[in-house]
Amino acid sequence: MSKPRTNNFAVEVLKRPEERHIVVRDKVSAVVTVYNEEKNIKKCLESLKFADEIIVVDNSSKDKTVEFAKKYTKNIFSQKNNPQEIDLLKNFGFEKASNEWILSIDADEQVSPELASEIREILDHGSLVLEEQETGSKDQRSKNQDLKSIDGFWIPRKNIIFGKFIQNSGWYPDPQLRLFRKGKGKFVKAHVHEPIKLEGESEYLKNHIIHHHYNSIQEFLSRTVNLYAPNEAQEYIDRGYVFSYFDAIRFPLNEFLSRFFARKGYKDGFHGLILALLMAFYHFLIFAFIWEKKGFKEYDGKDFLKDTEKEFKKSGKEILYWLTKEKLESIKNPLKRNIKRFTEKLHNI
């Protein structure tokens, strides 16, 4: 089978007379924006070999990132680094892509072989197979959706943190909008953690990006203190946040309760506990940076100790509520669960 190529799609000419027709498939450009990623870049680019084009944008790295990248692609571009606009910098790489579709990947991420096959299959066949549940039935049925009606895809992401795949705490499935038509998606805000803004309709893929997130406590603290927390503090202010002194307690407490209890972080074991505490500290820092940006405002209440005591009592009640709730939910037998709920009520009378 011969495969003459055009600029942004592949053409397959089938040889057998009864099948003689032309099949056009879309092509994809993988775009990676990097800064001092010599430890990660090889594995990342190795996972992108399935793509029709690899674009690497180097944000003025000082290590061997570019040297390693040259082994995988000639399409290497440079720009000045600006950590405060880390996502906006990626738009430059999107503009350099020459194909219909763009796959945006970070250097500490890898495309799993299953995801590579899924993307390739969708682009080759020009359609997406959707699983639907028939009304009144548990059976699933498949339906093909034409690729022309889709402008982007959300991709689930496996976060490997401190050497472990974190399956709860809000870290999974962690869908990311990463595959989109050129000209349909871009970053529009300087704030970190903002998703790509898509113009058009989107769908979800099944297979994963693998994200080697935090490899050490030092890495977590460095990113949090130097980039994420001050950036997010400014975002709170930009959105009109009304300053409250006791958010110094509420910000970290709410994040801990959300991660460890509401989003089942305890199911990740000790990793889940440490991550919930670290994320609570992250949100405490967000408040601390807000306080700094407000000029280190003095407390204006009459009795600071009494007011603090009230806030901590509220916090204690919230923790006890979530502990009781999750313990009850862990009891599978309905009768035993109701008995336990009744005894808890008696205990609190």
The predicted pLDDT at position 334 comes to 73
Looking at the domain assignment, is residue 307 inside a domain?
yes
Q: Is the residue at 133 inside a domain?
A: yes
pLDDT by residue, tens only, the chain of 349 residues = 444 444 555 554 444 544 444 456 799 999 999 999 999 999 999 999 999 999 999 999 999 999 999 999 999 999 999 988 989 999 999 999 999 999 999 999 999 999 999 999 999 998 887 765 555 555 555 678 889 999 999 999 999 999 999 999 999 999 999 999 999 999 998 777 788 999 999 999 999 999 999 999 999 999 999 999 999 999 999 999 999 999 999 999 999 999 999 999 999 999 999 999 999 999 999 999 999 999 999 998 899 999 999 999 999 999 999 999 998 888 877 766 666 665 666 566 5
Do residues 138 and 250 both lie within one domain?
Answer: no
Q: Are residues 266 and 320 in the same domain?
A: yes
Of 117, 105, 112, 102, the C-alpha closest to 26 is: 102
My answer on whether 65 and 208 are in the same domain is yes
Is position 1 within any domain? no
Domain that holds residue 113: 9-212
The CATH number given to whatever domain includes residue 200 is 3.90.550.10
Strand partners, 76: 56
Residues 185 and 248 in one domain: no
The answer to whether position 2 is within a domain reads no
pLDDT of residue 6: 47
DSSP assignment of 189-220 = -SSTTPPPEESS-EEE-SS-EEEE---SHHHH
**CB within 8 Å of 306: residues ≥ 6 apart:** none
111 in a domain, yes or no? yes
C-alpha 159/C-alpha 136 separation (Å) is 36
CB 195 within 8 A of CB 185: no
Domains in the chain: how many in total?
Answer: 2
The secondary structure of residue 261, as a DSSP letter, is I
Task: Specify whether 145 is located in the same domain as 293.
Answer: no
pLDDT of residue 136: 54
d(CA 99, CA 27): 6
Domain membership flag for residue 46: yes
- Nearest residue to 172 via CA among 182, 185, 187, 157: 157
The verdict on residue 3 lying in a domain is: no
Mark which of 191, 212, 233 sits at the end of a domain: 212
Co-location of 181 and 287 in the same domain: no
Whether residue 237 sits in one domain with residue 329:
yes
Q: 282 and 339 share a domain?
A: yes
Q: Determine, yes or no, domain membership for 4.
A: no
Which pLDDT score, from 0 to 100, does residue 126 have? 87
The H or E element containing residue 142 is strand 140-146
Domain end call among 168, 191, 212: 212
Based on the fold, state whether residues 224 and 208 are members of the same structural domain: no
Please indicate, yes or no, whether residues 121 and 37 belong to a single structural domain of this protein. yes
Query: Are 87 and 187 found together in one domain?
Result: yes
* Domain termination residue (choose one: 212, 228, 251): 212
Is 102 in contact with 179 (CB distance < 8 Å)? yes
pTM: 0.85
Which residues, at least 6 apart from 316, have a Cβ–Cβ distance to it below 8 Å? Answer: none
Could you tell me if 204 and 316 lie in one domain? Answer: no
